[in-house]
Amino acid sequence: MPINHNLGEEKLKAVALLAAGKTKTEAAKKLGVHRKTIENWSKSPDFQKALMDIQDETIEKAIEETSLTISEQVQALLPDAFNVLANIVKNPDSRNADKLKAIQLIGKWSGMEDKKIPEQPQPELEFANYLKERENSN
């Protein structure tokens, strides 16, 4: 934690208390000093920098923990979400637009969104083309 250690132990404790959400009065009581002392310390650029460093670190840590929690929750829901989408695709009563959207989401979530689907052999079409070519050659 990037704190200016030139402050001294008592001032660092005051910084920690204020960063934890204590008021200047509460911090003063806890340290056994007058509130005006905390007020005067808090005017120092070193004190302000130390306080901001701790607050920034606390905010970054909270964001990181929240992001992980949200990510974990999303990961836990994915199997159920895939099942819902698969049911939409398989349900004969689903609208074609809903089926298409479900298929698009499945492709996107599985990382296949930009991949080209290989062409499947179409024997009926190949046979029809064969017959046309045969007619044209006669």
Q: Per-residue pLDDT tens for 13-27?
A: 999 999 989 999 999
pLDDT digits (tens, 9 = 90+) for 51-84: 999 888 888 888 887 777 777 888 888 888 888 9
**Angle at 69 (CA atoms; ends 67, 75), nearest 5 degrees:** 100
pTM for the full predicted model = 0.46
Name which of 30-39, 60-69, 104-113, 114-123 the model is least confident about: 114-123
Q: What is the pLDDT of residue 110?
A: 78
Distance of CA 39 to the CA centre of its chain: 39
Q: Which residues contact 47 (CB under 8 A, 6 or more apart)?
A: 7, 11, 14, 15, 41
Question: Which structural domain range is residue 87 located in?
Answer: 5-137
Q: How many domains does the chain have?
A: 1
